[in-house]
Structure 1
Amino acid sequence: MTYILLAVVFSVAVSVLLKLARRANVDIVQAVATNYVVAASLCVWLLHATPQAAIDAKATYAPLAILGILLPAIFLMLARSVRSAGIVRTDVAQRLSLFLSLVAAFAFLGDTLTGIKSLGIVLALLAVFCVLWRKERGGMERGGWLAPLSVFVGFGAIDICFKLIAQAGAPFASALLASFLIAMVLCWVTVLVRAAMRQAPVTARSMGFGVLLGAANFANILFYVRGHQALPKDPSLVFASMNVGVVVLGAFVGAFGFKERLAAVNWFGVVLAIGAIGVMTIA
């Protein structure tokens, strides 16, 4: 379980870095662009990945193109969410996005809706509502829920894209590298255009921050993959441990490290989220 613990730590570390980005006067677009250079390089070095297998499977083209756009977009939305809604709400929204994959599985991928899956869906919906509720600011106001809700939807869409790529026969590492490369190109085009228009000059500070972000981002993925490799007969255990671990550690870091204010209904949502993850894992 050491690999899963490390994956949990680095997943929360990504949220912490994004929380600190504004304080460090970092241009988040440049940081995200640099992140994909680092992540793609580490993917080649440590996973020995090549994009060829994903390119050879023509059925991967559409989901890969969508991933190339979604991956940097979700990073920017993560940054906005941890600033406006906090680490706790953002990490719960991210982890509960597996609910959307469950819905897509029976809506589009031929899976069957069962009683236990229905229970998981209901718990996930309740958890999202409770976690995003902000009593002190008038309940579910737009500023309190829009960013984490976008994270919830975005990560669900990313997971669905990876499932479609897997169905097309492309290995995970190949698909991961291909999506990183697409995202990297799009991000750097944006960075260079903004620099040419003098909207945001490229800075060593932002790029250095992006190196840290890319290392943490890839470490999260690498240790999660290693966890599955170490426990090949217990994928559900790895899956549940990872998601519950991020929710719990994110809650502690947000509440006690950054003094994020959570009402009783929000903490109840965290508990519901853990329950929903458990139910959806055995479903």
Structure 2
Amino acid sequence: MIFLILSVLSSTAIFVLFKLFNKHNVNTLQAIVYNYITASTCGLLLYQKPIQLNYFISEPWFYVALALGFLFIAIFNVMALTAQKNGLSVASVASKMSVIIPVLFGIIIYKESVGFYKILGIILALAAVVLASIKPKSNVRLTRSIYLPIVLFLGSGIIETSVNHFAPDGNMPLFLSIIFASAGIIGFALVGLKSVKTKQRFNRKSIPFGIALGLVNYSSMYFLLKALRVEGFETSSVFTINNVAIVAMTCLIGLLVFKELISYKNWLGIGLALISIVLVIL
């Protein structure tokens, strides 16, 4: 349970940092690139075995990690486009509702248990995500560019499912390091192209914020994978609890720290999130 708690706290810290980006005028794309460099470095430092290039290049998970790095960057851009064209709430709901993909994968492929409390908990969790993510006076446009939230939903779910399914137990830090390194290289290329086209200046603030983001980003993935490998914990339960706990915590921090408005629907979503966690644990 400690790994799951640490994963939730780390993921919530990501939300806090993104809010601080706006407050301190941090270049988001540049900070995200430094975030990937930092996260990749964390993986290399935690990998306690000698790094033999010929060894892990021959492993099938190496190429999966490279592909996931591309997906990380691609889905990030899809998330940004979804927020711009369909509204922030649609982007938030689409990315968080994607938890249903790894949950179903665990039940169908891993033959995990399916009981009344668990099914009810998962249904309430999905309702909690929707209610907690819709902000007051949000500009939601479901009919415009509808393909974007669909791609975001599928992409986010594929990332979560693939990272869990392909991560090798003995090489988990290196696996995550390669994912983040792949995303970082692509990110560097994007920043370079954008700098040439728009003559965008380097933002010094992006370095410390990017490093901080990289530390909590790696921690969120690492601790989630550790929680998924705890004996007695089913992946469908872990993903559900992790997702709704993050939604509830980010809502509360938004209220207490950033003085955001929370509607009765958001409070209902937080309440359902807590109930769903209890039901899934039962």
Would you call these one fold, judging by a TM-score over 0.5? yes
CA drift of 1:135 comes to 5.9
Alignment of 1:170-181 (within 5 A): 171-181=171-181
State the distance in 2 between where 1:281 and 1:157 align: 24
Match for residue 162 of structure 1?
Answer: 163
Match for residue 126 of structure 1?
Answer: 127
Q: Give the partner amino acid of 1:12.
A: T
- Please tell me whether the aligned partners of residues 194 and 201 of structure 1 are also in contact (alpha carbons under 8 angstroms): no
- Please tell me whether the aligned partners of residues 66 and 161 of structure 1 are also in contact (alpha carbons under 8 angstroms): no
State the distance in 1 between where 2:33 and 2:265 align: 37
- CA offsets, 1:143-191, max 9 Å, x none? 9xx999876654322111113414x888432321221111111111111
Structure 2 vs 1, CA of residues 2 and 175 (structure 1 numbering), >3 Å: closer, same or farther? closer
Structure 2 vs 1, CA of residues 54 and 204 (structure 1 numbering), >3 Å: closer, same or farther? same
State the distance in 1 between where 2:69 and 2:52 align: 13
- Is 2:59 the partner of 1:57? yes
Match for residue 38 of structure 2?
Answer: 38
CA drift of 1:64 comes to 3.0
- Please tell me whether the aligned partners of residues 54 and 60 of structure 1 are also in contact (alpha carbons under 8 angstroms): yes
CA drift of 1:217 comes to 1.7
- Please tell me whether the aligned partners of residues 54 and 174 of structure 1 are also in contact (alpha carbons under 8 angstroms): no
CA RMSD across the alignment: 4.1
Alignment of 1:80-229 (within 5 A): 85=88, 90=92, 97-106=98-107, 109=109, 111=111, 114-116=114-116, 118-134=119-135, 136-137=137-138, 140-142=140-142, 153-166=154-167, 171-223=171-223
- Please tell me whether the aligned partners of residues 195 and 201 of structure 2 are also in contact (alpha carbons under 8 angstroms): yes
- Please tell me whether the aligned partners of residues 54 and 170 of structure 1 are also in contact (alpha carbons under 8 angstroms): no
TM-score where L is the length of structure 2: 0.73
State the distance in 2 between where 1:225 and 1:165 align: 11
Greater shift after overlay, 45-54 or 191-200? Answer: 45-54
Structure 2 vs 1, CA of residues 81 and 270 (structure 1 numbering), >3 Å: closer, same or farther? farther
* SS in structure 1 at match of 2:132: helix
* SS in structure 2 at match of 1:275: helix
CA drift of 1:131 comes to 2.6
- Please tell me whether the aligned partners of residues 96 and 124 of structure 1 are also in contact (alpha carbons under 8 angstroms): no
- Please tell me whether the aligned partners of residues 133 and 247 of structure 2 are also in contact (alpha carbons under 8 angstroms): no
- Is 2:273 the partner of 1:273? yes
Structure 2 vs 1, CA of residues 13 and 110 (structure 1 numbering), >3 Å: closer, same or farther? closer
- Is 2:69 the partner of 1:68? yes
TM-score where L is the length of structure 1: 0.73
Q: Give the partner amino acid of 1:266.
A: N
* SS in structure 2 at match of 1:204: coil
* SS in structure 1 at match of 2:25: coil
State the distance in 1 between where 2:183 and 2:52 align: 13
State the distance in 2 between where 1:272 and 1:60 align: 39
- CA offsets, 1:80-129, max 9 Å, x none? 8999758xx95x8766543221123456x364783445434432332233
Q: Give the partner amino acid of 1:207.
A: I
Greater shift after overlay, 68-77 or 45-54? Answer: 45-54
Match for residue 10 of structure 2?
Answer: 10
Structure 2 vs 1, CA of residues 66 and 277 (structure 1 numbering), >3 Å: closer, same or farther? farther
Structure 2 vs 1, CA of residues 46 and 190 (structure 1 numbering), >3 Å: closer, same or farther? same
Structure 2 vs 1, CA of residues 245 and 21 (structure 1 numbering), >3 Å: closer, same or farther? same
State the distance in 1 between where 2:24 and 2:106 align: 41
Match for residue 255 of structure 1?
Answer: 255
Aligned length: 271
- CA offsets, 1:211-251, max 9 Å, x none? 1211222233455567778xx44546994775565344322
